[in-house]
Structure 1
Amino acid sequence: MGPLTGAVNIVVAVLHFIWLFSAAVIYPVFFYYIVLTIAGLRYNSKFKEPAIPSELPSITILIPARNEAVVIRDTLLAMANLDYPKDKLEVLLLDDGSTDDTVRIAEEVAKEYPFIRVVRVEGGGRGKSYVLNYGLRLARGEVIAVYDADNRPEPGALKGLVAMLSDETPAVTGKVRTINWKGNILTRFICMEYLYFQLAGQSGKSKLYKTAVLPGTNFVIKKDLLEELGGWDEEALAEDLEMSFRIIAMGKRIAYNPLAVTWEQEPESWRVWFRQRTRWAAGNVYTVKEHIKRFREIPGWGLRFDLLLTLMVYYLLAIAVIVADVAFVALLVTFGNVTWFTGLILSFVYVAFLLEIFAGLYDGKIRSIGCWLLAPLMYYTYSQIWIFISLAGLWEAGKAKKVWYKTPRTAV
């Protein structure tokens, strides 16, 4: 055996060790997400639109905005078109120091609809949570709703959310769809990712554990609960997940209505998308660090496990991709001379990924053949970048000063 052959064998042995060790941790998670996917399909197929209460609560919609001139008119008009009694509706456009025409456009719309108010946030530039807390202090409604500045909720969305509020479920969230999913290959990838996350992470979780998690938009929450919680954590970059953890730790649940839909714009630039997801990954790390000691307060071991996976999803995905990549490299280095078990597991990862993405497309009623054909490519492109997002998220989480990076918008 020559020196080169011996070196190759050592490399292969190391790669196999790394792969086997990681696979023992990661692949049970893959199986779990298959279970979540099946549970999500069952939840959605049996879900019935909740009955609208005869007496609806007063509600304040908070819309944080910073340089949103491109989208803000359509967003406010969508709020005006909500099927909700206008005498019980208040919309606060919370301007966080915009330097474009956001305020001028918002004030033009507000003149036509007296339930819309434009509020200039004092001491702004400190992040979304600060802006939301500022609006919370001004809110008159019994219930608080949150929408991002690019959102266009469907007319019945707000009623659908409010209808599921109760003492046990003081917060309710709905589905988020991608309005510009046909924009380019990136927005198609994001659309597929969102559809699957909501199928497994919202519908699946709701089926198995009777709770979902709050996204950053399209949700309602009782104002008295928010005040009891002390509002949003202004240090959190992923304020939605951080708030979800505290609600569930109280023994409350977050309901999910997949028929209460809002449409939002997603990044069309890879650079913008990378920065956005890095911020989210860093926010998840913050939530783990802040609340790791409180996991015992989460009711049930299954839900504790699921929430930990949710908080670590970016890193688990990165590890899973690395594991598959290592197996693939081992396959190349040994010129295909790997065990049948290695080949089987490598095939399982790819097939499971495809089936989960296809399930999301099917559930989301996406009939575009382009998306279905892109799904196989998604694993080898979009998913690979999560390795670098996870590393960047860890770096961002370690910084002393956290910065709220506002996602730039484009006309749709």
Structure 2
Amino acid sequence: MMVRDVLDILSQFVLYIGILFSLIFVYKVVYILIAFRARREKHQEGKEVPLRKYAFLIPARNEELVIGQLIKSIKNQNYPKELFDIYVIADNCTDRTAQFAREAGAIVAERFNQKQVGKGYALNHLLNVIETDYASKRYDGYFVFDADNLLDENYIVEMNKTFDQGYKIITSYRNSKNYDQNWITSGYALWFLYEAEFLNRPRMYLDTSCVISGTGFLVHSDIIKENGGWVHHLLTEDIEFTVSQIIKGVKIGYCGHAVFYDEQPTTFSQSWKQRLRWAKGFYQVFMNYGKELFLGMIRGKGYRFSCFDMMMTILPIVIVSMLSLIGNALIFLLVPFEGKGLIQTYLIGGLTGILWVYCLLFGIGLVTTIMEWKKIRCPGWKKIVYLFTFPLFLFTYLPISIVALFKKIEWKPIPHTVVKSLDDLRSRS
């Protein structure tokens, strides 16, 4: 076989991968278009709904700096105080998290277990404490938050409205406490805003299932009982929980009017470690639930598209990307045998592909920034600058995802140091 024949085969291979990649994700571009229509729907005000009783579950590990502000934002909710309780599980803490949480008004349990480490184990322990020591309270649902979060004062009111629509799991609008800190924090924050308004909102509009992302969600007590507590302990327990419920046919809702804020990692080292865990967790979920999702795409009654959507979310695209990179690398190794003109052709083609992806990601960031401009707590000039760094932030997922394929990864906490109140956030333009 001639060198040119090999080049032609490799070129076709790379082309087909690109086409496959585009076809798989073109529906998410349609999501953006649907989101504009969904956003035009007027928010229903004035409708009275039954007031349910809720419990807040807050896993916290060495969070003495931020735990007080979260509890304060919960206690300041425009919702009857007798209808919600705040529980903190101080998980393997070596600081004064438990003390500060109690002083702020939370019910606190402490857990010390160095073998079963992670948010899932802490949640399950806390649920067992509630079932044992506070069984008489009988909650309708459980909110799950991280210790660095802050809640808008109407958070419970808005979530309760969506809960009244029959959804047993609901996620909410995720904003950022430190969007303006640097290109890393803004990269995270802009992606979460895109997830909320241009993925979950159109899913809600289309009456398909939304996706939970880490924190800021509500779970019906029946779901917890049916599961026997919190039984999800992979590195991304939120995605595992989402997938497991979608496979069962449970539809997850989204409440865009329930707003909370969280803190993003500030250094690339912290970001690398966190996203390495996320990437590994996605692989774990794919390996554990991929078959059932595929069967749900074929046999699921009323939730086939939700299974497809979730499959596209957890699909290890990095493997496809690696195959494409390998194909391109082989092309560049063989091209010199065919002359400099061919080298230039393939080099220009490769750079064009990278530029096309950059522009696509820039477009996602641009649309999100324009639509969420007033909600982003950041000076205007920084919002514009971070548009250009947003694609670069997402590009760094490629090496992270490749390393995650081969490295053993364990759950490790990310330190939170941004001590802000809601008033501090509102003072920023």
**TM-score, length basis structure 2:** 0.81
Please report how far the alpha carbon of residue 268 of structure 1 lies from its aligned counterpart in structure 2 after TM superposition.
0.2
Question: Which of the residues 180, 193, 196 maps onto 1:195?
Answer: 193
1:390 maps to which residue?
A: 401
Aligned partners of 2:416 and 2:185: how far apart in 1? Answer: 13
Q: Find the counterpart in structure 1 of residue 108 from structure 2.
A: 118
SS of the residue 1:68 aligns to: coil
Are 2:418 and 1:408 aligned?
no
Q: Matched residues in 2 for 1:50 and 1:250: separation?
A: 33
Q: Which residue of 2 aligns with 1:113?
A: none
Residues 313-352 of structure 1: pairs in structure 2 closer than 5 A: 315=318, 334=342, 336-337=344-345, 348-352=356-360
Task: Calculate the TM-score normalised by the size of structure 1.
Answer: 0.85
Q: Does 1:37 align with 2:26?
A: no
* Amino acid paired to 2:110: R
Answer yes or no: is the 8 Å Cα contact 1:211–1:253 preserved in 2: yes
Structure 1 residues 267 and 173 mapped into 2: Cα distance closer, same or farther (>3 Å)? Answer: same
Counting aligned pairs with the same residue, the percent is: 22
1:382 Cα deviation after fit: 1.6
In the alignment, is residue 108 of structure 1 matched against residue 119 of structure 2? no
Taking structure 1 as reference, are residues 320 and 212 closer, same or farther at Cα in structure 2, changes over 3 Å only? farther
Post-superposition offset of 1:166: 4.6
Structure 1 residues 220 and 300, CA gap change in structure 2 (3 angstroms): closer
Q: 1:85 to 1:316 in 2, by over 3 A?
A: farther
> 1:350 and 1:240, CA in 2 relative to 1: closer, same or farther beyond 3 A?
same
Report SS of the residue matched to 2:70.
helix
Name whichever of 116-125 and 73-82 sits farther off.
116-125
Aligned to 1:369: 381
How do 1:50-199 and structure 2 match up within 5 A?
53-110=48-105, 116-121=106-111, 123=113, 126-139=117-130, 140=137, 141-166=139-164, 168-199=166-197
Q: Secondary structure at the residue paired with 1:164? A: helix
Instruction: Give deviations 1:296-352, integer Å, cap 9, x for gaps.
Output: 34444432221101112763895699599979989x984653699988866643433
| Counterpart Cα distance in 2 of 1:275 and 1:410 | 17
Quick one: which amino acid aligns to residue 14 of structure 2? W
**1:262 deviation in Å?**
0.4
Distance 1:317 1:364 in 2: 32
Q: Does 1:304 align with 2:307?
A: yes
Question: Is 285-294 or 119-128 further displaced after alignment?
Answer: 119-128
Aligned residues: 395
CA drift of 1:31 comes to: 2.1
The C-alpha deviation readout for 1:168-221, integer Å capped at 9, x for no partner, is 411111011111011112111222222222233312322334321122211111
> Where has structure 1 moved over 4 Å in runs of 4 or more?
9-15, 49-54, 316-330, 332-336, 338-348
Equivalent-residue separation in structure 2 for 1:127 and 1:363 (angstroms): 35
2:50–2:164 contact (8 Å) kept in structure 1:
no
| Offset of residue 167 of structure 1 | 7.4
What is the 5 A alignment of 1:5-24?
Answer: 16-24=11-19
Question: What is the alpha-carbon distance in structure 2 between the residues aligned to residue 75 and residue 161 of structure 1?
Answer: 17
Q: 1:270 and 1:161, CA in 2 relative to 1: closer, same or farther beyond 3 A?
A: same
Distance 1:388 1:337, change over 3 A: closer
Equivalent position SS for 2:40: helix
CA displacement, residues 77-99 of structure 1 (integer Å, 9 cap, x when unaligned): 11111222111111001100210
**Counterpart selection for 1:204 from 192, 202, 205:** 202
* Alignment partners' CA distance in 1, 2:110 and 2:92: 7
Return 5+ residue gaps in structure 2 as ranges.
Answer: 131-136, 420-429
Change in CA separation of 1:130 and 1:167 when aligned onto 2, cut-off 3 Å: farther
- Displacement, 1:259? 1.3
Matches within 5 A, 1:236-275: 236-275=234-273
Q: Is the 8 A contact 1:16 1:327 kept in 2?
A: no
Task: Give the letter aligned to residue 127 of structure 1.
Answer: G
The one-letter amino acid paired with 1:55 is P
Deviates more, 1:15-24 or 1:208-217: 15-24
The aligned amino acid for 2:306 is L
Q: How far did residue 11 of structure 1 move?
A: 9.2
Kept in 1: contact 2:59–2:119 (CA 8 A): yes
* 1:198 maps to amino acid: A
Measured in 1, the distance between the counterparts of 2:416 and 2:327 equals: 35
Distance 2:100 2:215 in 1: 22
TM-fit CA distance, 1:393:
2.5
Task: Look up the SS of the partner of 2:89 in the other structure.
Answer: strand
Gapped regions of structure 1 (runs ≥ 5): 1-5, 111-115
The answer (yes or no) to whether the contact 1:158–1:260 under 8 Å persists in 2 is: yes
Kept after mapping to 2: 8 A contact 1:49/1:160: no
1:354-391 Cα offsets, whole Å, 9 max, x none, are: 22221111222247233333323433x32221111112
Question: Which region of structure 1 is more displaced relative to structure 2, 126-135 or 264-273?
Answer: 126-135
Asked whether the equivalents of residues 82 and 155 of structure 1 are also in contact (C-alpha less than 8 Å), the reply is yes
**Contact 2:173/2:260 (8 A) holds in 1:** yes
Q: Take 1:311 and 1:51, find their aligned partners in 2: how far apart are those partners?
A: 39
Distance in 2 (CA, whole Å) between partners of 1:61 and 1:72 is: 13
Deviation per CA, 1:260-301, whole angstroms, max 9, x where unpaired?
110000000111111111111221222222222322344444
Secondary structure at 1:408 match in 2: coil
Deviates more, 1:136-145 or 1:341-350: 341-350
Paired with 2:327 and 2:385, the residues of 1 have a C-alpha distance of 21
Are residues 321 and 91 of structure 1, via their aligned partners in 2, closer, same or farther at CA, if it must alter by over 3 Å? Answer: farther
What do you get for the CA RMSD once the two structures are aligned? 3.3
> Aligned equivalents of 2:320 and 2:205: distance in 1?
23
